[in-house]
Amino acid sequence: MTGVLASGLTNFVGDALDKQVQIDAVGLGAIFALMAVGIGLVFGVMRLINFAYGQLVMAGAFALAFASDHDWPVGIGIALCFAVVLALSLAMERVVFRPLRSQSAAVMLIATFAVAFLLQSIALLWFGPLGKTATSLVELNRPISVGGVEIRKITIVAIVVAAVCLALLVLLLDRTSIGLHMRAAAMDFPTARLLGVRANLVSTVAVLIAGALAAVVAVMLTVQYPTVTPTFALQETILVLAGVVVGGMTRLLSATLGGFLIGYVSGLLGGALPSSQSQYLPSFLFGLVILVLLVRPDGLFTRGRGLVERV
Amino acid sequence: MRTRRAAVELVAPAALVVATGLVGAVVSQTSEIYFVTALISVSTVVAIYVFVGNSGVLSFGHISFFAVGVWAAGVLSVPKEEKPATMPYLFDFLASTTVGNVPSLLIAAAVGGVFALAVGLPLMRLSGLAAGIATFAVLGITNNILRYYEKIGPGLNTFSSVPETTGLLQATIGAVLVVTAAFAYQRSRLGRQLRATREDPAAARAVGVSIYRQRLASFALSGFLAGFAGGLYIHFIPINVDAVYLDLTFITLAMLVIGGATSLWGAVVGALFVSGLDSVLGETEDGMTVLGRTIDLPSGSRIVVVSAVMALVLIVRPSGLTGGREFSLPSLGRRARPAEAK
């Protein structure tokens, strides 16, 4: 029994250390990190957890599928994807987030559930449960050989794009006045407003940046999963939400790291679990999430203890 | 005066439940299904309310207790002869036992309660976002295991041959029982202590209330009631594992928040309001005549309208239809009830 267990463990560790598995896991982590930034940025400014974020990715994916259905060039498809996602983000901010800004976190979260439901059911009505396929970028799914390891092009693209996006975001937050305003709003919204930060502008910009990232994620996810259904990206969103909380929502960096980590671990487990147990992958992941939360409820990458009201 | 007001707080939601049952009994056979669904929703939402409403901590995990209730009642009440055909891999003791309607409901409740207690022991130390995500993780794990572990149920298949004992009568009695239990709990010493921690955790701790213990007790009771509601549900309609996952979690939480999460009255009103809306629209999808005009919505548009209305209610009335207050007669309460609270 112990022998079997030990050899199973050795295989598991061996598979997990395999270069192929590692690179795929990093690629998945990169995509998750982008989603985590999108969710974390909006949370930072508005203290709102946007559950409908996955549905933005889904809408973008449908835009891509729509374009590839009509044999439009790739560039137009991507432009359409950005246009749809940004328009939806803007509408969401105006119609739902802004009126609810002063409400409790629970009310805002449930409102984003409702929005998520709405978008998902519209997609169901429009495209049916089987969805559509986006094929124009499938070329990127081909592997190329680097030093004896087969890497799909999209993995490299995902890592590079994520790095570029994050670098741009850091520049924006650090070097521009709107970035400064956003950081101020994230720290203390009422005080920032008193000092002349325009609340509506800041939240609109945050939502738009998050939307642009959702569009980027939509492009990269449709390459890997060309079949776009109304529940596209739903599973990923749930994992990213868990990831940002595990990482720590108080800072954008910790949320991003959390998102990356859960994508990476999910890639590792997916590659290393024996196939008889791979169906239980979500249980392993969620089990880890619970364990980490029990040990570090304020987040894995946060410093010190969170503020607890003491008597 | 105080006892009278307390009585009103129980009688009003219970009367609304009974009235729903009675109206359901009067209308045609075909729409009875909507009333039973609404009543089971009341049981489920009130079960969630017992924890979420009284503690102020959002839980996404309650549908896992509902789901184990469905599994317990479903697996145990299928006749022995039928089990090998639909659930061939069951554990022996599950395959060789069949229980009646009432025992199966009690077992469903007990399994839900024990599961909630076991989960709550570690998780009730958390609060806020961490608690929300951790309870969500419980839901994910429960769903994943029920989906693939065929020794304890039908796995991905839909339940079949479960006796359909939940009609209007059983659904009404069940909902009244759940409402009464929730009322008794929130008036009890335990319930009041928990509500105190909701209003001001620091002050509650200062007077010696253990937040952890109170939340745990409420979580276990809430899981017990949710398991019971799950038992009611599987005796009503054959379902599979997808029916007890994300959609149900969101719709039940939305019902609670739309009604007004901090009151029992709000939980009941929210459940009935959303189920009512859902049923009316469901009928409209099949074509309905209103005032001599036939309204015919394309199928699938129901969820679109329901979710749009949910978002709208939250934007217009963020504290819910009842404002999160208990029912009170205008002459008894200091503040008159808003008219739109039905």
Contacts of A274 (CB under 8 A, 6+ apart): A8, A11, A12
- Phi and psi angles of residue A187, each rounded to the nearest 5 degrees, phi first: -75, -50
pLDDT of residue B339: 46
A285: its two tokens:
């992941």
B15: its two tokens:
């009367």
Confidence of residue A10 (pLDDT cuts 50, 70, 90): low
DSSP state for residue B289 in the 8-state scheme: E
Between A12 and A192, whose confidence is greater? A192
Q: Where are the beta strands (DSSP E) in chain B?
A: 288-290, 293-295
Residue A286 pLDDT exceeds 70 = yes
Q: pLDDT per residue over B144-160, tens digit each? A: 999 999 999 898 889 98
pLDDT of residue B186: 93
Between A297 and B105, whose confidence is greater? B105
**Mutate: best of A43, A97, A121, A240, partner B, most B CBs <10 A:** A121
Between A66 and A12, whose confidence is greater? A66
Cα–Cα distance for residue pair A107/A298, rounded to 1 Å: 22
The answer to whether the Cβ–Cβ distance between B314 and A100 falls below 8 Å is: yes
- Reduce the DSSP state of residue B290 to 3 states and report it: strand
Q: pLDDT per residue over B195-242, tens digit each? A: 999 999 999 999 999 999 999 999 999 999 999 999 999 999 999 998
pLDDT of residue A14: 67
**Degrees to nearest 5, angle at CA A208 with A202 and A213:** 130
Residue B287 pLDDT exceeds 70 = no
* Average pLDDT of the residues of chain A: 87
Residue B77 pLDDT exceeds 50 = yes
Q: pLDDT per residue over A59-98, tens digit each? A: 999 999 999 888 888 899 999 999 999 999 999 999 999 8
ipTM at complex level: 0.86
| B136 interaction partners in chain A (CB closer than 8 Å) | 238, 241-242
The answer to whether the Cβ–Cβ distance between B311 and A287 falls below 8 Å is: no
In Å, what is the CA distance from B33 to each residue of A14, B171, B233, B313?
Answer: 55, 11, 12, 26
Residue B275 pLDDT exceeds 90 = yes
Cα–Cα distance for residue pair A122/A105, rounded to 1 Å: 26
> What is the distance of C-alpha A164 from the center of its chain?
16
Cα–Cα distance for residue pair A264/A25, rounded to 1 Å: 5
Q: Taking Cα atoms as reference points, which of B125, B302, B91 lies closest to residue A291?
A: B125
pLDDT of residue A305: 53
Confidence of residue B73 (pLDDT cuts 50, 70, 90): very high
The answer to whether A121 touches B300, Cβ cutoff 8 Å, is yes
Phi-psi region of A50 (alpha: psi -120 to 50; beta: other; left: phi over 0): beta
Confidence of residue B295 (pLDDT cuts 50, 70, 90): low
The residue-averaged pLDDT of A10-34 equals: 82
- Selecting from B130, B141, B253 the residue whose C-beta is nearest the C-beta of A293 gives B130
pLDDT above 90 coverage of chain B, percent: 54
The answer to whether A213 touches A228, Cβ cutoff 8 Å, is no
> What is the distance of C-alpha B323 from the center of its chain?
20
The answer to whether the Cβ–Cβ distance between A110 and B246 falls below 8 Å is: no
pLDDT of residue A152: 84
The residue-averaged pLDDT of B67-80 equals: 94
User: Does residue B151 belong to the interface with chain A, where contact is any CB pair within 8 Å?
Assistant: no
Q: pLDDT per residue over B136-195, tens digit each? A: 999 999 999 999 999 998 988 899 888 999 899 999 999 999 999 999 999 999 999 999
* Average pLDDT of the residues of chain B: 88
Contacts of A17 (CB under 8 A, 6+ apart): none
pLDDT of residue A211: 96
pLDDT of residue B30: 77
Residue B330 pLDDT exceeds 50 = yes
pLDDT above 70 coverage of chain B, percent: 91
Confidence of residue B342 (pLDDT cuts 50, 70, 90): very low
B68: its two tokens:
């184990």
pLDDT of residue A2: 60
The residue-averaged pLDDT of A26-54 equals: 92
Q: pLDDT per residue over A108-158, tens digit each? A: 888 898 899 899 989 988 888 888 888 877 777 788 877 777 788 888 889
| A311 interaction partners in chain B (CB closer than 8 Å) | 202-203, 205-206
The residue-averaged pLDDT of B34-61 equals: 94
**Considering only A64-78, A228-242, B261-275, B284-298, which range has the smallest mean pLDDT?**
B284-298
**CA closest to A250 among chain B residues:** B129
The residue-averaged pLDDT of B94-107 equals: 91
Cα–Cα distance for residue pair A246/A264, rounded to 1 Å: 14
Residue B266 pLDDT exceeds 80 = yes
Question: What residue type is assigned to position A106 of the chain?
Answer: A
Q: Identify the architecture of domain B2-341 in CATH.
A: Orthogonal Bundle (1.10)
Report yes or no on whether pTM surpasses 0.90.
Answer: no
pLDDT of residue A6: 65
| A105 interaction partners in chain B (CB closer than 8 Å) | 58, 129
DSSP state for residue A279 in the 8-state scheme: G
The answer to whether A90 touches A216, Cβ cutoff 8 Å, is no
Cα–Cα distance for residue pair A132/B309, rounded to 1 Å: 28
**Mutate: best of B314, B316, B321, partner A, most A CBs <10 A:** B314
| A291 interaction partners in chain B (CB closer than 8 Å) | none
DSSP state for residue B337 in the 8-state scheme: P
